[in-house]
Amino acid sequence: MNKQDEWHNNPIGVFDSGVGGLTVAREIMRQLPNERIVYFGDTARVPYGSKSKETVTRFSRQIVHFLETQDVKAIVVACNTVSAYALEELEKEVDIPMIGVVKPGVRAALDATVNKKIGVICTEATMNSGIYSRYIQENDSSVKILGKACPLFVPLVEEGLWEDPVTDEIARRYLTELVDSGIDTLILGCTHYPMLRSTVRKIMGESVTLVNPAYETARELKALLADKGLESEHRPELGTELYRFYVSDAADKFQRFANSILTYGILSAKVIRIDEF
Amino acid sequence: MNKQDEWHNNPIGVFDSGVGGLTVAREIMRQLPNERIVYFGDTARVPYGSKSKETVTRFSRQIVHFLETQDVKAIVVACNTVSAYALEELEKEVDIPMIGVVKPGVRAALDATVNKKIGVICTEATMNSGIYSRYIQENDSSVKILGKACPLFVPLVEEGLWEDPVTDEIARRYLTELVDSGIDTLILGCTHYPMLRSTVRKIMGESVTLVNPAYETARELKALLADKGLESEHRPELGTELYRFYVSDAADKFQRFANSILTYGILSAKVIRIDEF
């Protein structure tokens, strides 16, 4: 059997600026248990959400080059900021199918909304990119979109304050205008935000549909693999390195965080020099 | 006149992981008005406070190489994390006199304490380095040191919540054990923290001396320049690029922040590719 024949058994590359993309990896593990994953978190240069398009694109290009060396059959951009700023450019540069988190989230929100008022919470960079507005308007120009950057959510999540009076207060400040606007659907437009789902739920109320792009992305990945005949044939044994984790710094901290959100324990994350790719 | 004769009129290099070091630059501007400054903020890779020693050292080495190309006569490491993790190694590698913010802060705290109980608030990286304990103990082994990492302070400062109920609440959680411990002196061991001085003052009470290493560092720089005959002879005219600012990303955001803490307006900050140095 030559390399091409076995290609569909190769791993899926998943990357993010740090730990947030683990919420996407978790969904892929749940929904596609036959697939191996190579995850990369850019912990030396996190966060991306406050950086420029040029810098985010340059960093992401290095990560894609690294994932190519791992012979991944598809790449999941598990970061809204990268999906917003760099995905379209990177797709032109490599031959591997790529999927971001923005389009799947938009599609789910358009399915969910009844009153055609959709809210998006995200990083400053994703907000500045205007990508959510653009994709939503392209699909349905009658939809009204309300975006809100929530820059303190990422540090609050990374400090573990997932349910805390301080997080409640910050969330109230960020979300009040969205509550007042009467949206019926809210996209959690940053991969860290699913960890704040219950806080956001409390403030937005039960009647607003919360869209988690991580879940939708895993669903679309499944369809993409089927469409291209790239599904893994059988469940790999644990011994064959089912999931491999790479980071650019501080593997210990990454492991602690990963072990708090994944259902199985990560034994190790390997540190690589990403700026050499 | 050859290059060597004019060397003492060259600028001082000041660097930090981002904007925090501007509090040090501000003190140098105040106390050494004759000196030109080249400032570099590593905004593409900020923050350093949660990163490893190896990564912080590698990033800092690139910045020192950049500052060498600017013919600086001295380098001020305006970042506690770099001072803690990388300064001793970098000093061996270059011929330019270097000064960090940790030792000046320690000396001022030792001068101030009466009951020999000193507190230090800082980033996780500075905390893990143990550098404050080491320097204090080397000078006076009878001093008791209480350290506390305050990881949310930097994002709160960067979001402009300098005086805010949320910042009060977070500060109360971080500082209560320091209040209870009976320290009489507290080192603000991160260059962002002087912006939270009034919040910290409110919680610690009037009887605790707050040490701002930025102020002490500018004083020691003055002494260092005098000692080495490196003082600038006269006040440069504004037209001769008195202060130059470089960043690795997002110059706009840096400018906004700089203009909020410096007493004169920054007209521009130039973006450079720091990982090429």
Q: Which residues of A touch B149 (CB under 8 A)?
A: none
Q: Output the six-digit token pair for A143.
A: 């939809």
Residue A168 amino acid letter: D
Half-sphere exposure of B82 (CA within 13 A, CB side): 32
What predicted TM-score, i.e. pTM, was given to this entire model?
Answer: 0.88
Q: Which residues of A touch B50 (CB under 8 A)?
A: 158, 250, 253
- Mean pLDDT, range A17-25, rounded to an integer: 93
Backbone angles phi, psi at B46, to 5 degrees: -60, 150
Residue B199 in this model has a pLDDT that exceeds 80: yes
Confidence label for A50 from pLDDT (cuts 50, 70 and 90): confident
pLDDT at B1: 42
Helix (H) or strand (E) holding A257: helix A251-261
C-beta atoms of B45 and A43 within 8 A: no
Confidence label for A261 from pLDDT (cuts 50, 70 and 90): confident
CA dihedral A214, A255, A50, A275 (to 10 degrees): -110
Residue A113 amino acid letter: T
Between residues 27 and 46 of chain B, which touch chain A (CB distance below 8 Å)? 43-45
H helix count then E strand count, chain A: 13, 10
Q: Is A122 tagged catalytic? A: no
Confidence label for A3 from pLDDT (cuts 50, 70 and 90): low
CATH classification code of B3-100+215-276 = 3.40.50.1860
C-beta atoms of B250 and A165 within 8 A: no
CA distance A32 to chain B (A): 33
B163 touches chain A (CB under 8 A): no
Give the nearest partner residue to B155 out of A44, A152, A169, using CB atoms. Answer: A152
Q: Output the six-digit token pair for A240.
A: 């064959």
Quick: pLDDT tens for A122-153: 999 899 999 999 999 999 999 999 999 999 99
Average pLDDT along chain B: 92
- Mean pLDDT, range A38-58, rounded to an integer: 93
Backbone angles phi, psi at B44, to 5 degrees: -75, -20
- Mean pLDDT, range A22-29, rounded to an integer: 94
Average pLDDT along chain A: 92
> Which residue of chain B comes nearest to A252, CA vs CA?
B52
3-state class of A168 per DSSP?
helix
Pick one of 3.30.70.2190, 2.40.37.10, 3.90.1150.10, 3.40.50.1860 as the CATH number of A102-213. 3.40.50.1860
C-beta atoms of B51 and A249 within 8 A: yes
- Mean pLDDT, range B105-129, rounded to an integer: 96
> A188 - beta bridge partners?
A121
Spatial distance between the Cα atoms of A22 and A195, rounded to a whole number of angstroms: 11
pLDDT at A1: 42
Confidence label for B237 from pLDDT (cuts 50, 70 and 90): confident
pLDDT at B239: 62
> Which residue of chain B comes nearest to A168, CA vs CA?
B166
Domains A3-100+215-276 and A102-213 fall in the same CATH topology: yes
ipTM value for the complex: 0.84
Spatial distance between the Cα atoms of A238 and A257, rounded to a whole number of angstroms: 21
Q: Which residues of A touch B277 (CB under 8 A)?
A: none
Per-domain residue ranges of chain A: 3-100+215-276, 102-213
A172 touches chain B (CB under 8 A): no
Spatial distance between the Cα atoms of B54 and B60, rounded to a whole number of angstroms: 10
- SS3 letters across chain B: CCHHHHHHHCCEEEEECCCCCHHHHHHHHHHCCCCCEEEEECCCCCCCCCCCHHHHHHHHHHHHHHHHHCCCCEEEECCHHHHHHCHHHHHHHCCCCEEECHHHHHHHHHHHCCCCEEEEEECHHHHHHCHHHHHHHHHCCCCEEEEEECCCHHHHHHCCCCCCHHHHHHHHHHHHHHHHHCCCEEEECCCCHHHHHHHHHHHHCCCCEEECHHHHHHHHHHHHHHHCCCCCCCCCCHHHCCEEEEECCCHHHHHHHHHHHCCCCCCCCEECCHHHC
Q: Which residues of B touch A152 (CB under 8 A)?
A: 155-156, 159
Residue A239 in this model has a pLDDT that exceeds 80: no
Spatial distance between the Cα atoms of A73 and A34, rounded to a whole number of angstroms: 14
CA distance B156 to chain A (A): 7
pLDDT at B182: 96
Give the nearest partner residue to A166 out of B43, B45, B166, using CB atoms. Answer: B166
3-state class of A98 per DSSP?
strand
Give the nearest partner residue to A170 out of B43, B50, B166, using CB atoms. Answer: B166
